[in-house]
Structure 1
Amino acid sequence: MARLHIPGMAVAVVKDGRIALVRSYGTANVEFGVPVADDTVFAINSVTKAFTGVAAMREVELGRLDLTAPVERYLQDLPASWHGVTIRQLLSHTSGLPDVLRAPTVETDQAAAWDWLRTQAPLFAPGARFHYCQTNYMLVQRIVNQLEGRAPDAPLANEQLRAAGMTSTAYGDTYSVIPRKAPTYRWQWTGPKVHGYPAPTAAESLQADGNRTLTAVSERFPPFRHAASGMNSDATDMARWLIALQQNQMLKDTTLNLMWTPVAFNSGRLGQWGMGWQILQRGDHRAVGMTGGGRAAFYLYPEDKVGVVILTNLTGSYPEDMIDKLAALYIPDLPLGGVPGLRIALESRGYEQAAQAAADVERSYPGQPWQEDELNDWGYRLLAAGRPADALAVLKLTAERFPASFNAQDSLAEALAVNGQREAAKRAYQRVLELHPGDPNALKQLESL
């Protein structure tokens, strides 16, 4: 918390069907000096998607929703170009649909945003690749509510909140009055940016508190987006929900395992998403969970009957990077190889040691594969946190481990550009075009460079 300048944090751990730990740290409301308490409520943002995954899988379990069915089976007012997208592709962000967040009126006029969205063409063929897109969950919300006979914009998680005894969890945004809710903050800095990320000179200024300004975050989550974001909760409530899931109060084991099965792309390569949940491998252990807003995260380790929740009030704190190390205290044989082991090593040894540290991790855990998406996501979190040199070290390693991936090369090129290494960035973008001829982003960036 000191290193990342996080004002407030709450932590909960579940083990063997009970809450094993609840801890609160720091300040919930900086303006009034209110400390974080065990019942402090935080915005959990996209963690909401995991609740939506459960709601959708409940419909699957009841036989009303078919994951392999095209979306037009359930919704008849979709553009013809969207036909063929399956429910599974919506839930795993592999649909290729345009993102409603790009609609000019997304926060002010739902009808106009929907009209705009329906004029937009798909970005790629369904199942071709991953694209994090709020449209997917907007459609899932409409479908599940139609099956349940509710209004299209009705929230999906209320049944789960009752089943788990979650008394502090509610939908809402900056404009809602939510008891005991901590405001959300962000550290702002001045200085040059490249691709929207702090350039090295700005990043260096982040080390001095005098060059930082803590600002409040304002967010709008209208009801039609409540399947994707908009929930608020405390750590204890989240722990209760994880226990209820493990005790099959919402879904059967077979349905849970289906929800936690990674969805494959058309190429056959497994992605990092199941049905509303991210799926990560920790040796022969699974970690399933979700993150939200760069400030909230939880992982459940199903075979170990352990769950960890970390909620903060700082955008850019990325608590998902802390969870595995905490979980290892409750799972003594949890192998911290791959990305978790490398993250722990680099935070202590320095990111300039990335190549050597990765080799050491591989020797210690020879059977632990590197997950490209997880490495890539980590690199971008470092860019967003104003740590461009550290991000470059991680994304360079990703490109080395996945030399045939045009996405890994594209990410490396962007990190090189942010770090001012223009000629190296050009070479990386040229490599993208070799692997993915005609790639529009690579052509655009080469022209700019």
Structure 2
Amino acid sequence: MMPALGKAGMLAALVAGAIPATVMADPVDDYVQAEMTRHHVPGLALAIMRHGQLVRAQGYGYANIEHSVPVHPDTLFKSGAIGMQFTAVAAMLLVEDGKLGLDTSIRAYLPQAPRSWAPITIRNLLNHTSGLPATPNGEFRTDYTDDQLLAIIYKQDLNFPAGARWRFSYSDYIVLGFIIRRVSGDFYADLLRKRVFDPLGMRTARAIDERAIIPNRAAGYELSGTTLRNADWVSPTANSTADGSLYLSVLDYARWEAGIVGQRLLKPESWALIRQPATLPDARTYPYGFGWFLGTNAGREMWWHSGSWQGFKTFVVRYLGDDLTVAIFENDDGGDPDAMARHIAGLVVPELAAGPATPVAGANPGDTDRIRALLLNIAAGRAPYADFAFVSKQDFTDMMADYRAQLSPLGPPREIALFGQSEIGTDQVRRFRARYDDAVVEIRIGYTPTGKIGSLDVSPVEAWTAPAVN
């Protein structure tokens, strides 16, 4: 029996062994290899596209460590939530067919849904303004029928009334997938195959199927302490929902990008809806379209999305004014494809390179004290629910459990500073960073007009001065 190896030693050796010295000749290769070693990434595929055309597709590291199989451009990765952009296009195809109405109540398609769901529309599902729970309160290892999984979601409390706010929800796209099946007669991935993948030449894009024999499929890995392990098993149901249960290669994604740039599959007015920010009360908007986050970089329009699922992480960023798209797919749960893709974009188009982040001068010490208390309370498992608004007790409990697992090993923060503030949607959003002995985390916290916490995101960043992300 082979002894377990520490993540740093084993993965450094694997990455170094999988990338010949002859390819270490340009800044992109140098950067990718260094980041893979630093973040202990087993394998990675990169695609760079300009004007809808693939200009670089490359694999790094290993798709399967146990069998020493390298990553190639045609290696298949689990998509995670970047798959939502495909589900959104499937829905818009059905809107164009007259089978779905963007502003029709979803109870027209799901009559068994609770009466409280009556104000929720297809549009609310597409742009995450439905108020549905973040995830179904089921078991990842249990198989469910569509109706059984829907019944679980039906019983969960809404976070807020439909259209009142924005909150990312996997349940939105899970429910949307069930509606797609009901109105079209097709499983959502079968509809994608017939009307998206095949027309665009995405030859290896497909639904996840763990029992099928699928050439070039990567294995997903998770870090348990200091040991690399295969990802935990989940049921076929958990790997079949429309929130991102797809296999994709970066070559498939390049063909998808060409379809977006060429505005294929949909009418121009449908593509325009996909890039439209979510509308909120009082003429406010939130920068999320149908399956895409929307933003700017150096004044240029930008679309982006990330995914994370079962030992895989993905990230895609599109810089529309520069006709540049970077896609990174990894087979691990610990890398940072977001930061990597944005950095690579800056190597390709120097004007997109972000400078170091710096704290805001003259910040109110009371604000940082409040964040310190919040972080300590989360790490200790005693964050007060009463301080939060527009989040159900179940979603709050799940969110706090995730953040506690992230923060409790770090100890108390040594330094906290404000790095930015803005108005997003209905909240005043402040961006803090907390420096620990061995880590830096970024805290994005949105305060409602009443002063309660309406949104919270806690995530690791590479360094205290790592470039800010929109």
Rounded Cα–Cα distance in structure 2 between residues aligned with 1:298 and 1:440: 24
3-state secondary structure, aligned to 2:148: helix
**Which residue of the other structure, out of 235, 258, 276, is the alignment partner of 1:261?**
276
Rounded Cα–Cα distance in structure 2 between residues aligned with 1:241 and 1:141: 20
1:229-268 aligned within 5 A: 229-268=244-283
Deviation (angstroms), 1:40:
1.2
Rounded Cα–Cα distance in structure 1 between residues aligned with 2:424 and 2:414: 16
Rounded Cα–Cα distance in structure 2 between residues aligned with 1:116 and 1:8: 36
Deviation (angstroms), 1:226:
2.7
Counterpart in the other structure of 2:43: 8
3-state secondary structure, aligned to 1:26: strand
Do 1:155 and 1:223's aligned partners in 2 also have CA atoms closer than 8 Å? Answer: no
**Could you give the per-residue CA deviations for residues 276-330 of structure 1, whole angstroms, max 9, x where no partner exists?**
1221222332221321106111122233322211111111313122222222344
Deviation (angstroms), 1:81:
1.1
Deviation (angstroms), 1:128:
2.4
Rounded Cα–Cα distance in structure 2 between residues aligned with 1:92 and 1:440: 16
Q: For structure 1, which segment, 299-308 or 310-319, has the greater mean C-alpha deviation from structure 2 after superposition?
A: 299-308
Rounded Cα–Cα distance in structure 1 between residues aligned with 2:143 and 2:236: 10
Deviation (angstroms), 1:253:
3.1
Q: 1:103 to 1:403 in 2, by over 3 A?
A: closer
Rounded Cα–Cα distance in structure 2 between residues aligned with 1:141 and 1:275: 14
- Aligned amino acid, residue 216 of structure 1: N
Structure 1 or 2: more strand by fraction:
2
Do 1:172 and 1:178's aligned partners in 2 also have CA atoms closer than 8 Å? Answer: no
Q: 1:16 to 1:296 in 2, by over 3 A?
A: same
Counterpart in the other structure of 1:177: 213
Which runs of no fewer than 5 residues in structure 1 stay unpaired? Answer: 190-211, 347-352, 359-379, 420-424, 442-449
Counterpart in the other structure of 2:227: 213
Deviation (angstroms), 1:93:
1.3
Q: 1:60 to 1:282 in 2, by over 3 A?
A: farther
Rounded Cα–Cα distance in structure 2 between residues aligned with 1:386 and 1:25: 33
Do 2:181 and 2:188's aligned partners in 1 also have CA atoms closer than 8 Å? Answer: yes
Q: 1:302 to 1:260 in 2, by over 3 A?
A: same
Q: 1:296 to 1:263 in 2, by over 3 A?
A: same
Do 1:295 and 1:312's aligned partners in 2 also have CA atoms closer than 8 Å? Answer: yes
Counterpart in the other structure of 1:161: 197
Counterpart in the other structure of 1:41: 76
Q: 1:407 to 1:98 in 2, by over 3 A?
A: farther
Do 1:40 and 1:180's aligned partners in 2 also have CA atoms closer than 8 Å? Answer: yes
Rounded Cα–Cα distance in structure 2 between residues aligned with 1:44 and 1:73: 30
- Aligned amino acid, residue 295 of structure 1: K
Q: 1:40 to 1:403 in 2, by over 3 A?
A: closer
Deviation (angstroms), 1:234:
0.9
Rounded Cα–Cα distance in structure 1 between residues aligned with 2:48 and 2:41: 20
Do 1:44 and 1:296's aligned partners in 2 also have CA atoms closer than 8 Å? Answer: yes
**Which residue of the other structure, out of 332, 336, 344, is the alignment partner of 1:314?**
332
**Could you give the per-residue CA deviations for residues 59-86 of structure 1, whole angstroms, max 9, x where no partner exists?**
2334443322221233322110111012
Rounded Cα–Cα distance in structure 2 between residues aligned with 1:109 and 1:22: 38
Q: 1:83 to 1:144 in 2, by over 3 A?
A: same
Counterpart in the other structure of 2:466: none
**Which residue of the other structure, out of 27, 32, 35, is the alignment partner of 2:67?**
32
**Could you give the per-residue CA deviations for residues 100-130 of structure 1, whole angstroms, max 9, x where no partner exists?**
5312477422343332322233221112223
TM-score in terms of structure 2 length? 0.68
TM-score in terms of structure 1 length? 0.71
Counterpart in the other structure of 1:446: none
Structure 1 or 2: more helix by fraction:
1
Rounded Cα–Cα distance in structure 2 between residues aligned with 1:114 and 1:30: 37
Q: 1:89 to 1:433 in 2, by over 3 A?
A: closer
**Which residue of the other structure, out of 279, 283, 286, is the alignment partner of 1:271?**
286
Counterpart in the other structure of 1:376: none
Q: 1:301 to 1:416 in 2, by over 3 A?
A: closer
Rounded Cα–Cα distance in structure 2 between residues aligned with 1:403 and 1:223: 32
Q: 1:49 to 1:220 in 2, by over 3 A?
A: farther
3-state secondary structure, aligned to 2:102: coil
Do 1:153 and 1:223's aligned partners in 2 also have CA atoms closer than 8 Å? Answer: no
- Aligned amino acid, residue 55 of structure 1: A
Do 1:173 and 1:221's aligned partners in 2 also have CA atoms closer than 8 Å? Answer: yes
Deviation (angstroms), 1:58:
2.0
**Which residue of the other structure, out of 216, 237, 242, is the alignment partner of 1:222?**
237
1:7-156 aligned within 5 A: 7-104=42-139, 107-110=142-145, 111-148=147-184, 150-151=185-186, 155-156=190-191
Q: 1:225 to 1:401 in 2, by over 3 A?
A: same
**Which residue of the other structure, out of 298, 305, 317, is the alignment partner of 2:323?**
305
Q: 1:98 to 1:245 in 2, by over 3 A?
A: same
- Same amino acid, percent of matched pairs: 25
Paired residue total: 372
**Which residue of the other structure, out of 300, 303, 311, is the alignment partner of 1:285?**
300
3-state secondary structure, aligned to 1:130: coil
Counterpart in the other structure of 1:435: 451
Deviation (angstroms), 1:224:
8.6
Counterpart in the other structure of 1:350: none
- Aligned amino acid, residue 300 of structure 1: R
